[in-house]
Amino acid sequence: MTEAQAARGRGVSRTLKVEFALFYVIVPVAGAVLLPANAMFGLLFGMTALGLLLLQITPGFGWHELTRGWHRVDWARVAGLALLTAAAAWAVLQATRPGAMFFLPRERPQLMLAIALLYPLLSALPQEIVFRPLFFRRYGALFGHERLALTVNAAVFSLAHLMYWSWIVAAMTFVGGLAFAEAYARRGSFPTAVVQHAVAGIVLFAMGMGVYFYSGAVTRPF
């Protein structure tokens, strides 16, 4: 490698670091601090649109990566995560909000059905595009080791939920982020990551965790 090539490589790396910090740290934090909680979906869709553009210009990325393998979803992993999610939600609600257990299926079954139908497409899929293919294909090399990349991925996924201002949401999205990232980065299955995310989200709302993942209930600490 010539000195000029090395300099170009360092320049690209610095640009990607700045881009990464802006996209995955500055924007979510600024959104949580400056925007109302009900603006979260608008922010998500805006980030998704920008993420799609960034993926388009990412060297070596092809859109077929998002469409292949849907017939090979690892349903055992999906079921396992769903059970763990249900157990964690039960424990959290029993300790903090027992009256919220199964609130939507009991009191608002039509809303629960709407969430089950729309959450996979309007929430899980956009988030997975932004936090899995975009992160690993465009910025993964910035972190050197796969384990570090997985941890950072889960951390910024959790940070993206800062708008809820809840340590429970932060902890659950970090653990979920690790599971989704592992499915995508280590097992090479974007479909499994999407389905895991969709099913885990539906389980959370069905159990009653909507009391924490509902913008109308957000209380800012300032």
pLDDT tens for 43-76 read 888 998 999 999 999 999 999 999 999 999 999 9
- Give the Å distances, CA to CA, from 61 to 118, 129, 143, 147: 28, 13, 19, 22
* pLDDT attached to residue 4: 43
Nearest Cα residue to 72 out of 154, 180, 183: 183
* pLDDT attached to residue 13: 86
Is the pLDDT score of 27 beyond 80? yes
Alpha-carbon gap, residue 139 to 176, rounded angstroms: 20
Q: Coil, strand, or helix at residue 165?
A: coil
* pLDDT attached to residue 52: 93
pTM score, whole prediction: 0.92
* pLDDT attached to residue 10: 57
26-38 mean pLDDT:
91
**145-193 pLDDT per residue, tens:** 999 999 999 999 999 999 999 999 999 999 999 999 999 999 999 999 9
**98-110 pLDDT per residue, tens:** 999 999 999 999 9
- Binned at pLDDT 50, 70 and 90, residue 12 comes out as low
Q: Coil, strand, or helix at residue 62?
A: coil
| Distance separating the N- and C-terminal Cα atoms of the chain | 52
CB of 3 within 8 A of CB of 23? no
Amino acid at 71: H
* pLDDT attached to residue 168: 97
> Please, which residues have CB within 8 angstroms of residue 97's CB and are 6 or more apart in sequence?
208, 211
Name the one residue in this structure whose structure tokens are 């997985």: 150
